[in-house]
Structures are given as structure tokens and as C-alpha cells.
């Protein structure tokens, strides 16, 4: 009995291929890595200094770490007022420096992402240039346009909001939690109580967004293919006075990529379903995805085939508007 393999959170092979385009810009890449590390360690500095300033102002005894003595002039420790003023001025300077570094980090990652997708688009274009003619017959021009422009643009998110910013944010969390544990570990544990709930909720949200993202990208590709082909062929449509006929075409057929109603098609690129069909029964029309991706069907009369029919007999009897009907008809 075949079983589906668990889906990895991300494919390292694809990620490494994307990062291979970073090679010509490795200097900018490592500068941004350094900026990310600096910003992570800078996160708890300002809250700590604000706490120290408030405690000094209310007359509470404060034990300042050694690095504060290094960055402030020795004259600042002559009186409480001078110390508060010196710490406040240092905070202003630190905020300016942190803002400058954060701008450089954001700008650098966005610039790096744009350079990578430019090189990637050139690579894809060079690949398409050497395609055989039969490959252009199988792939609509609008789909190629979407893959070359929209989908590659999404790769920029790896750099602007993706791997490196995520690593920097994780390092920020580690530094912040370490500081919190150092100050008061009991209060820190209380603050961490919601964390497991947030992690579980984030996981399910990620799975849902991942499925929706693939569906949206496929829908956009089908839409661009539909618009491009119909606009480029508008002269032919008008020459044969076929405007009304074109308007009556069901866009669901184009989006699903099928040849017509009740004509199922394999969808190897879909994350979960192996087939799609635009089912029509009378006036009712419905797009149905069916069949578990990666699971092979069984021939008629086999034990698995009989088990499937018995398990889904009620839904199969519903006819063309049921996913079980098409799974039984096409796959099992």
C-alpha cells in the first residue's frame, strides 16, 4: 500500500539554487548579515537604558554594566543629574545610529533581491529562447509571462522578508529572552506562556496560506494566458464576427486548463490534488479537484478498488457534481 511522504517545511535544494545567484553580490550579502546581527544585539539596549534612567530619576539604586562606563565619559558619574543627562544623550545618538543601520539593512536586502531576480529573469529568458516549438504549443504565452514576471518577483520576498530577516528576528528573540531571563527569570516564564499556542497557530496558518498561494499563482497564470491569447487574437475574432461567442466562453475552463466540460485533467503541480475537472450536469457547473497527489489508483476488481467503492458509494452515487464520482471514474 502506497503512502505519501511528509512534506518538508521548505526545499533546501531550491533554496540553495536561489542563493547561488547571490554569488556576484556576496559583499553586500555579508554586510547585511553583519547589520542583522548588530540590530539583534541592539534591540534590548534602549529598553534597558530607559529603565536605568527612570530608576535613577526616582532615586532607586541602579547597577550599571561595564559597557555603560566605557561609552560614557567619566565626568557623567559625578552626579545623578549628569548621569541621567549623559544616558539620555547616548540614547538619542544610539537611536540615530540604529535607525541608520536599519535603513541600510532594509535597503540592502531589497537591492540584493532585485539584483537576484533580474539575473534569474535573464536566465529564464535565455532558457525559453532555446525551447523547441512544440513546447510553446503546450504552454500558453500568458503562463510564461506570469512565470517570468510575477512568480519570479515573489522570490524577492526571500530577501526582503524571508530567510535572512527571519534569522535576524530569531537572533533578536534569543538576545531579548536572554536579557529577560537575566533580569527576572520568573516573570520571563510567565511571559512565555502564550508561546506554544502562537507556534501551533502559526503552523496551521502557514499551511493554509501555502495552499492558497499556489492556487492564486495558478489562477493568475491562467488569467494572464486567457487575456494575452484573446487580445492577441482579437483581429481574428472580429474578422469572423465571433465576439458574442467568445463572451459566452466559460472562464472556468481556462482557469482549470481543461479542454471542455466533464473532461478531467492531471494536475501534477497542485500541492494536494492529482486531477481537476469542470463538471457540468444540466445547468450546474462546478470546478472539482480530486485524487490525492502521490497516491496511485488500482485496477478494477482489485481489493483497493473495491474498498474505495464501498467507502465512497454514497458520494459516488451523487453523480458528476461529486469528487468521489470522478475519482472512481478516472483514478480508481
- Report, as an integer, the average pLDDT of 96-113: 89
Q: How far apart are CA 32 and CA 197, in angstroms?
A: 32
Q: Would strands 265-266 and 284-292 be described as parallel, antiparallel, or unpaired? A: unpaired
For residues 31 and 170, state if they share a domain. Answer: yes
pTM listed for this prediction: 0.55
For residues 38 and 176, state if they share a domain. Answer: yes
What are the cell numbers at 123? 536566465
Q: Is residue 271 part of a domain?
A: yes
For residues 318 and 172, state if they share a domain. Answer: no
DSSP track, 124-172: HHHHHHT--HHHHHHS-HHHHHHIIIIIHHHTHHIIIIIHHHHHHHHHH
Listed residues 146, 177, 193: the one ending a domain? 193
For residues 272 and 188, state if they share a domain. Answer: no
- Report, as an integer, the average pLDDT of 86-111: 88
User: What is the band of 9 on the pLDDT scale with cuts at 50, 70, 90?
Assistant: low
Q: Is residue 270 part of a domain?
A: yes
Q: Is residue 39 part of a domain?
A: yes
Q: Is residue 265 part of a domain?
A: yes
pLDDT tens for each residue of 234-265:
677 677 776 666 666 666 777 777 777 888 88
Q: Is residue 59 part of a domain?
A: yes
Mean pLDDT computed over every residue of the chain: 78
Q: Is residue 5 part of a domain?
A: no
Domain containing 315 equals 259-331
For residues 267 and 120, state if they share a domain. Answer: no
Q: What is the pLDDT of residue 29?
A: 86
Q: Is residue 216 part of a domain?
A: no
For residues 185 and 263, state if they share a domain. Answer: no
Q: What is the pLDDT of residue 55?
A: 82
For residues 280 and 182, state if they share a domain. Answer: no
DSSP track, 64-87: --HHHHHHS-GGGGGSHHHHHHHH
Q: Pseudo-torsion of CA 20, 156, 256, 133, nearest 10°? A: -50
- Report, as an integer, the average pLDDT of 115-130: 83
Listed residues 193, 217, 245: the one ending a domain? 193
Residue 102 belongs to a domain with what CATH number? 1.20.1560.10
Which is higher by pLDDT, 140 or 133? 133
For residues 21 and 168, state if they share a domain. Answer: yes
For residues 17 and 124, state if they share a domain. Answer: yes
Q: Is residue 226 part of a domain?
A: no
| CB contact at 8 A, 213 and 264 | no
Assign 3-class secondary structure to 190-239. Answer: HHCCCHHHHHHHHHHHHHHHHHHHHHHHHHHHHHHHHHHHHHHCHHHHHH
For residues 165 and 308, state if they share a domain. Answer: no
Q: What is the pLDDT of residue 110?
A: 84
Number of domains in the chain: 2
For residues 187 and 265, state if they share a domain. Answer: no
pLDDT tens for each residue of 43-75:
888 888 888 888 888 877 777 777 777 878 777
Q: What is the pLDDT of residue 4?
A: 46
pLDDT at 173 over 80: yes
pLDDT at 5 over 60: no
Amino acid at each position: 500500500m502506497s503512502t505519501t511522504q511528509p512534506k518538508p517545511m521548505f526545499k533546501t535544494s531550491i533554496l540553495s539554487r536561489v542563493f547561488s545567484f547571490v554569488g556576484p553580490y556576496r559583499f553586500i550579502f555579508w554586510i547585511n548579515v553583519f547589520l542583522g546581527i548588530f540590530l539583534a544585539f541592539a534591540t534590548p539596549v534602549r529598553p534597558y537604558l530607559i529603565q536605568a534612567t527612570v530608576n535613577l530619576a526616582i532615586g532607586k539604586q541602579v547597577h550599571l554594566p561595564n559597557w555603560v562606563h566605557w561609552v560614557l565619559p567619566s565626568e557623567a558619574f559625578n552626579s545623578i543629574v549628569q548621569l541621567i543627562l549623559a544616558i539620555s544623550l547616548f540614547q538619542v545618538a544610539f537611536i540615530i545610529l540604529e535607525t541608520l543601520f536599519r535603513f541600510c539593512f532594509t535597503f540592502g536586502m531589497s537591492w540584493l533581491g532585485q539584483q537576484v531576480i533580474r539575473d534569474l529573469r535573464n536566465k529564464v529568458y535565455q532558457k525559453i529562447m532555446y525551447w523547441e516549438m512544440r513546447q510553446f504549443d503546450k504552454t500558453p504565452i500568458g503562463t510564461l509571462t506570469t512565470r517570468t514576471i510575477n512568480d519570479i518577483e515573489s522570490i524577492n520576498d526571500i530577501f526582503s522578508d524571508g530567510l535572512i530577516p527571519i534569522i535576524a528576528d530569531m537572533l533578536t528573540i534569543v538576545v531579548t529572552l536572554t536579557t529577560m531571563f537575566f533580569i527576572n527569570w520568573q516573570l520571563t516564564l510567565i511571559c512565555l506562556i502564550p508561546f506554544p499556542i502562537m507556534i501551533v497557530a502559526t503552523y496551521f496558518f502557514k499551511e493554509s496560506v501555502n495552499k492558497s498561494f499556489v492556487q492564486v499563482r495558478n489562477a493568475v497564470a491562467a488569467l494572464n494566458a486567457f487575456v494575452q491569447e484573446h487580445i492577441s487574437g482579437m483581429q481574428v475574432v472580429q474578422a469572423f464576427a465571433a465576439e458574442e461567442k467568445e463572451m459566452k466562453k466559460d472562464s472556468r475552463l481556462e482557469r482549470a486548463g481543461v479542454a471542455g466540460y466533464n473532461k478531467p485533467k492531471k494536475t501534477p503541480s497542485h500541492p494536494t490534488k492529482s486531477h481537476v475537472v469542470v463538471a457540468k450536469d444540466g445547468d450546474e457547473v462546478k470546478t472539482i479537484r480530486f485524487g490525492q497527489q502521490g497516491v496511485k489508483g488500482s485496477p478494477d476488481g482489485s481489493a483497493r478498488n473495491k474498498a474505495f467503492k464501498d467507502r465512497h458509494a454514497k458520494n459516488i452515487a451523487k453523480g458528476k457534481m461529486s469528487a468521489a464520482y470522478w475519482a472512481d471514474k478516472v483514478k480508481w
